[in-house]
Each structure stands twice: as C-alpha cells, then as structure tokens.
Amino acid sequence: MKQLIPRIEIEGRPTDFIKGAYTSTGGLTAASLQFTLPLVSDGYRKLWNKEVTFFIGNSKALFRGYIKRVKENFNEIEVFAQDILGYMVLGGNAEKAKIALTSTDNLDGLTAGAAIKKAISKAQLSSKIGTDVIGDTSPLISSSRPPLRGTLSVLDIIKQLISRAVDNSGDVPLANIVRVVDDGSTSQLVIELDKSLDSTPNYIFTEEDNIVDLKIIARKIPTIVVVNGLGNVKGTFVHDSAIEANDRNYLEVKNENLKSPAECKDFAQKVFRANIETQYEYGIMSFEGHSLSENDIIRIDTEDELFSGNYRVRGKKIAFSATSFDIGLNINRKPPTLAEYIVRQDN
C-alpha cells in the first residue's frame, strides 16, 4: 500500500512544515489548520490572508482556507488559518462580513439556497465562497417568513434561514445542514438534509484493522423543552422522570411551521426523544478515514454489541507531521436534532 503523506501548500506552492493539526467540529463552525514552519522560512511576515490548502496523499484538499495569524517563536513559526466559514465571519478584515437589509433592499421572496447565494454576493464574498452547487433545504422555506431586516452578518443570515427548515415527516425531526466541500479549486457551500443511519456506510472500522481507541462522551439531556411556533404560539414538554434522573436542563427552540400549542408540544416531545437517542457521542481514534466529512455515515464492527452499528460523523481532527498522521472522529448514533443547530449547549 502506498504511503499517504501530508502536504501543505500556500498560494499553490508546496511548503516545508514541521507539524500541524486540522480541526473541524461541524455545525456551521469554522474548520482550522494550525501548523509550524522552520524559522528559516522566507517571507513568513507576508502570509496574512494568503490561501492555504492541506492534503493527504493525492486526495482533494481536506482544507482550503486563509491565514489569520502568524507568530514567531524561539525556533519556529506558528501559523493559524481558517476555512471559508471563518473568512465569512471576518471577510479578510477586522470586522464581521455584514450586509444591511431594508424594506427596499433585501432577500425577500427567495428560498434559503437562493437567499444565501444572494447574501454572499451582496457581501462581495463570491470570489472566496462558492455557491455553484449549494442546492436547497428540505422542505423548501421562504426568506420572507419572517423577513430578515437590519444589519446582519452573513453567517447569522445562513444560520437563521437553515434553522427554519425542519423535516418533520418522521418520528424524529431532521435538520438541514450547510457543509463546506472542495471542488478542486474552490470551497463550495452545500445544503443537505441529515443522512439516515440506514444509508450505505462511507467507511467501515474494526478493532482488528483500523481502530486505535474508542471513547464515550455523555451529553446533557434537555428535560424541559419549550417550542415557539408562529407568532406567539408555544408549547412545553416536561419529562418528570428525566428531571429526577438528570435535573432540570432547559432547551428553547423555534419552529415557525407550527401554528398551534398542540403542534408545538408534539414537536417538543420529538426533540426530547431525539436528544435521548443522541445522549452518547463517541470518539474514535484511527489511522484511516482522513477523507470523511460531517454527515458521512460509518460502520463500526466490534464484538461488543454496545458499539457495533452505523454512526454519523460530526467532526474530525487530524494531527500530523511531515511523514505521518493520526485521525480522531467525533460520531453519534443518530442524526443531530434541530435543537443542536439552534442552541449550542455547553456540555
């Protein structure tokens, strides 16, 4: 088997480095790349906002972003870069990338995909952030209900629009997500629905072949769920026995597709059940799976039935040197619920 070698390029030119770490936590947060250069590197003081790409072997870029910080230490240079989600926040400058939306200049009447594309264009970010294959939410939603007004950051606009689209057709509500994919020359935003765990796995891990370590991470469970519907409609679901076991943990979400207190309470109950199913997240350490991304499905085959089965990838970390790398995946049993995208809880 041919050895896979990590590679970093700055403005398309291969760059010698000592070590580094790639981190992606998913959920519309910026992926980052940190790496160190030899102190003898030329021109490092002019690296700010330069494009940097990270590869393993001959794969497409696992990371494409822009250098935000360069720091000289005793015998090396530390470089920190973020992907286009980080660039979208700052727009290459010291301030957040924002646009002003008024009654005459706005995103009204568009679907989420079309509105996000227009917002990126209005913020003059199209040269860095691709929307050629962005697609749209399932179900489709309108940017006019309610209309977005005021001076808003582009990332906040995306979060607000995506949070409105919830597939409530099954027993568990499914969220839409926005991912960053690389087309070989540009980072593209893509909207997609959470994958079913019944999907064909993108990768299989076994204790004999490629699992180094497996950890369980416990999450807080919301025991009181408040759902705000259209207008002033709301409903609350309280699970008394869960409160006795886990204490009071509050979660408030919004779903403007719901028009009655009964619908809100039913949705709150679904959110509670979904969070029960995602109570445990798992961390897997391996030397394979570098190309996996958020929303990919993997299968773990072990003799322990507690761990065996399909999982959804939530995040990834790669620690690497010039000749080797290790991979850490954050995975869970069920697709994340709407609540995880609207409210990020500290666990």
Amino acid 345: pLDDT: 34
Q: How far apart are alpha carbons 230 and 251 in whole angstroms?
A: 18
Whether the link from the prior residue into 139 is cis, omega within 30° of 0, is yes
What are the tokens at 234? Answer: 């709301």
Please determine, for residue 338, whether its predicted confidence score (pLDDT) is greater than 50: no
List the one residue out of 299, 317, 295 whose CA is nearest residue 307. Answer: 299
- Equal fold, 6-90 vs 220-277: no
Mean pLDDT (whole number) for 318-325: 95
Whether the link from the prior residue into 146 is cis, omega within 30° of 0, is yes
Amino acid 213: pLDDT: 84
State the CATH class of domain 220-277.
alpha beta
- Its pTM stands at 0.79
Amino acid 339: pLDDT: 41
State the CATH class of domain 6-90.
mainly beta
Q: How far apart are alpha carbons 309 and 298 in whole angstroms?
A: 8
Amino acid 250: pLDDT: 83
Alpha-helical segments (H) within 101-141 = 112-122
pLDDT digits 0-9 by tens, 144-190: 988 999 999 999 999 999 988 888 777 767 789 999 999 999 999 99
List the one residue out of 83, 90, 153, 93 whose CA is nearest residue 122. Answer: 153
Q: What is the residue extent of each domain of the chain?
A: 6-90, 98-193, 220-277
pLDDT digits 0-9 by tens, 216-253: 665 677 888 888 888 889 999 888 777 766 677 888 88
* Length in residues, the chain: 347
Q: In the structure, what pLDDT confidence band is assigned to residue 335 with cuts at 50, 70 and 90?
A: very low
What are the tokens at 175? Answer: 């969220």
